[in-house]
Every structure is written in structure tokens, then in C-alpha cells.
Chains A and B, each alone.
Chain A
Amino acid sequence: MTTSHRRVGDQPWVRRSLIGIAVLLAMVMLVIPVVVIFAQALSAGWSTFAGNVTDQYTLHAIGLTLFVAALTVPLNLVFGTALAWSVTRFRFPGRKLLITLIDIPFAVSPVIAGLLYLLLYGRNGWLGSWLATHDMQLMFAWPGIVLVTVFVTCPFVARELIPLMQQQGSEEEEAGVVLGASGWRIFRKITLPNIKWALIYGVVLTNARAVGEFGAVSVVSGNVRGQTNTLPLHVELLYQDYNVVGAFASASLLAAIAMLTLVVKAFVEWRQSRPIVSTPEKEVS
């Protein structure tokens, strides 16, 4: 290799030291923490781990967490897709504002998110007091947990879809319209295959955040063991009880979901960078 074609920072010593520093820092900040989670969870042996995971309260927390995610993810899937469709396929006044508004959950502290819902739907809130007279209690119960989780995770699907749909443009959909296809047919046959992978990643990320939300949920849940305790809250509870191994056992389940999310993301990116090909043959001219 000649030196004339190199780019800035391609000298071996620069390259090596930059990679070295970055990899070292990444190990310290990202990789070892994950290792620690599993190491701690298993530090008292497999049988203790199994015992911790199958503990009655842990199982309940897992069940509640999955239940919350099962409600949250479809809601945000519909919302995210609808929002991405409306802001990338049409121009209308207030479009930019709408795109900014969906970032609010990113900017708002989860504790404040919880507080907002508590103020609105709590016994003293203007909506909550009305609900209370109709014998409905949302806060300190599972509906409250679902509500704040929807709030915290609502940007993810839309955020994944908007840049992709903007970049793909609407020519294919327009071609579908010219060819006489109905709206549903256009969405199913043309749009959906094009955004499938981003949609999957959006869902997986929404799921990861829904399963792992802590701050907002801890404000509205009331932390009743065996009732309104989600898995992250359960982790906290065990940790505060000095049951570190138990806490990490539950944490390792959440960490496994996180790792799965990363795998899905890597897979989706690999899929998207590949052209669509059915047969391995080369182009026939």
C-alpha cells in the first residue's frame, strides 16, 4: 500500500492507539458491566439462580412486566406507524411541531413523567377524582403502569420509521395509487415490506424500554410486592433488602432482553444494507 492514498488518521500508530483507547473504554463502560450482571446473578450457583428466578414474587413481577409490555407495544406500534405515515407522506401545517412533540418523552425525566400522570389521574387530579367517583382507580394499579409506559416508549417506533420513510420517498406508493390499488393494499403490499425491518426494530426497542422502565413506573406503582411490582421495581426492592444475588438474578433477565434487542438491531441493519435478491445468479443483460 502506498502512503499517497491514505486518509487522515490512517498511520498505524494513530490507528492502533485510537482503537486501543476506544476498545478499552468500551470494555470498561459497556462490556464488563454486562459480564458483572451475569456473574453476580450466578455467584451463588445455578440452583440459587433458579430459585431466585422462580421465586413467587419474581414470577409475579415477570408476569406483570410482560403484561404491561403486551399492552404497550401494540398501542405504540399503531401510533408510531400512523404518525410516521402522516408526517412523511403528507405536508400540512404543524407537521414540524408534531415531529418535535413526539420527542417530549425523550426530554422529560421519567420521574416527572410519572408525576404528570399521578397529578392527572391520582385521587386529587381533575380527571382522577372524576374517575374515583366512578370507582376507577388507575394510579397505584396496573393501568397506571401501562399509561406511563406508553408515554415513555411512544417515540421509538415513530423515530425508527420517520427517517427511513422520508428517505424512501412516496413514489412507490404513488405508483400503487396510479395502478388503482386501495389504501390498505398499498400499505400491505408496498409500504409494509419496505419498512418491515425498521418496524421490527422499533417494536423490539419499545419492548425493551417498556419492560425496563423504572423511574416513571416507580412513581405510579406503589410498589406492592406481588401486586404492582414490575421486574425493574423488583430488582430495586431486592437490592434495597441487601439481597444482591437475588436482585442480579432478576436483573440478568432484563439484561438478556437487552442483549436480544442488540442482536435484533444488528440483524436488522444487516438486512437493510443488503439488496433484495431472490436468486444468487448475476444480472443478465
Chain B
Amino acid sequence: MSASANTSVAIGRRFSVRSKRVLPGFGLSLGISLFFVSLVLLLPLTGLVVETSGMTWDQFWFTITDPRVVESYKVTLWTALAASLFNGCFGLLLAWILVRYDFPGKRILDAFVDLPFALPTAVAGITLATLFAQNGWYGQWLAKLGVEVAFTPLGIVVAMAFTSLPFVVRTVQPVLEELSPADEEAAVSLGASDGRVFRKVIFPALWPALVTGIALSFTRSLGEFGAIIFIAGNTPYVSEVTSLMVFIRLQEYDYAAASAIASVVLLASLILLFAINLWQGRYLRRLEGR
């Protein structure tokens, strides 16, 4: 009797000792966070599940493999890939000059890199559409070269590249800043050429961040809508992105079809998101030796 009472007291005390947190506000802050995350982020997902579970597998399959929809997957994927690869190169270049060199207007350029995050996508859309239109500032020059951007898939690439530009710059920049000059000097002192030092010393340190940046840029491009619809022309089978397909189905009040297509895109984005997080965790662990 007394022994069991003792153990229960001991357990009780152990528990209270364990759950004691030094800093205040654990319950409150986690409570708010969990409440918010469940209500704002997770609860809406149930709507999609309910809607799609009302469909039979055949209906679902038929909807998501509709030729027009399949064509939109293809367009979205290759344009997003092209845009994120372009941003890989351009973003790396921008990060490089912002970190390595001093030149007039550097701070302004640095600030401008974030413009695509701050500028509403619809504004970006009509601006790019105006610039690349046949009689636009860029369009008239490109027309002379025989290149058409507005109302073609190329326009989608331009819109995606614009909206996701900051990702690569902002992931590569900090890594480049922390690169120690000593590593480079060591390599140079061993007689390596600049190109070799870049390939063997600098690039290996940068590429995990570069891949992360490109992946983030790709994910963002997959879902882009506002900037694209103004410049893409939205020709069925040619320049329709998947987000637009969802939107069109919604305009037709075909919620089930919209949900089916959306679930495919959502799944792909979430998988990408988790993969990026895992990948970041892994390479960070390697870098920090944890």
C-alpha cells in the first residue's frame, strides 16, 4: 500500500518535473499555432477529400487523364522546368555578383531581386503581356527575330521565370557569403586554375543550395496562375497550364472534376515540398556534421 503510494508520488513528481518548461508561453504559443494550422491549413484539405471520394475510380481516372488535361500537365511541367533551370543560371549569376563584387547600384539591385515576391501576380501578368505583345517594348524586337512570346508556351516560361526568380538568389546568396576565402586561396596556392577552383571548391559547396533553390522555383512555377493567364493565350492543348484547367472546371461548376485535377497537382506539390525539406535537412546535417 505505502509502496504503491510512494511510486505514484514518485511518478507524479517525475512527470511534473519533466513537463516543467523554463521559458513561459509554451502552452499558449503552441496552442495558437496548432489551432491555426488545423483550422487554416489542414481543415480545408478535408473538403477536397470529401469531394473526390464522391467519385468512382473510373470517373476520377477519366477526369485526370482527359487529353486536354494531360496536355496541360505536359505544358506545365516543361515550362516550369525551363523556367526553374533558367533561374538556376540567372539566380546563381545574380547571387555571385551581389556577394563577390562591388558596383554602383548594388544595393538597389539587391532590393529589386525581391520584386517578384512583392508584386501582385496579376500586375506582373498584365505587365509582361504588355511588354511582350506584338507592339510591346520587347515584343516588337522579338518579332523581328521571328520569336513569339506572348500567347505561346514561351510566354508561360517568361511568367514563371519572373515570379520564381528570387528563390535561387536567396538560397544561394547566404551560402556564397559564408564560403571561406581560405579554401579558395589554398586551391589557388596549389596551382589550380580559376575554372578548376570554381568546379572543385566553390561549386561543390554551392550545389545543395542551388538544387534547393531550383526545386523551390519549380514548385512555385507548377502552381503559378495569375502571372500566366494574361500572357499565355490559354489555347487548349497548346498553352493551358494545369492551374488554369482547375479554374476552367470551376467556372463550369464542375467541382468534382476541378477537385480531381487539383488533387493530382496538390499531391505533386506536397511531395515536392516534403522532399525539399528532407533534402535540406540532410545536407544541412552533413554540412554541420550533426
Contact = CB atoms under 8 A, between A and B. Distances in A.
Contacts of A263: 111
Contacts of B128: 33
A81 B25 CA distance: 12
Contacts of B22: 174, 177
A126 interface: yes
A79 B97 contact: no
Contacts of B90: 22, 25, 29
Interface in A171-193: 173-174, 177, 182-183, 186-187
A177 B23 CA distance: 7
Interface stretch (B2-10, B67-75, B100-108, B205-213): B100-108
Contacts, number: 305
A208 B185 CA distance: 43
B130 A8 contact: no
B37 A183 contact: no
Interface residues of A, number: 105
B118 A261 contact: yes
A258 B223 contact: no
Interface string B13-42: 000000001111110111011101100111
Main SS of the interface on chain B? helix
B126 interface: yes
Interface string A76-112: 0011011101110110100010101111111111111
A118 B33 CA distance: 23
Contacts of A86: 25-26, 29-30, 33
B24 A112 contact: no
B123 A251 contact: yes
Contacts of A236: 122, 126, 230
Interface string B96-132: 1100110101010111111111111111101110110
B127 A251 contact: yes
Which of A31, A36, A101, A108 has most chain B Cβ within 10 Å?
A108
Which of A32, A83, A107 has most chain B Cβ within 10 Å?
A107
17 contacts: A7-B184, A8-B202, A15-B101, A25-B90, A30-B115, A32-B131, A33-B128, A34-B119, A83-B32, A83-B33, A111-B243, A113-B44, A117-B47, A118-B47, A119-B255, A150-B40, A266-B107
Interface of B: 21-26, 28-30, 32-34, 36-37, 40-48, 50-51, 90, 93-94, 96-97, 100-101, 103, 105, 107, 109-124, 126-128, 130-131, 137-138, 161-162, 165, 181, 184-185, 188, 194, 197-198, 202, 216, 219-220, 222-226, 230, 242-244, 246-247, 250, 255, 258-259, 262, 265-266, 269-270, 272-274, 277, 281
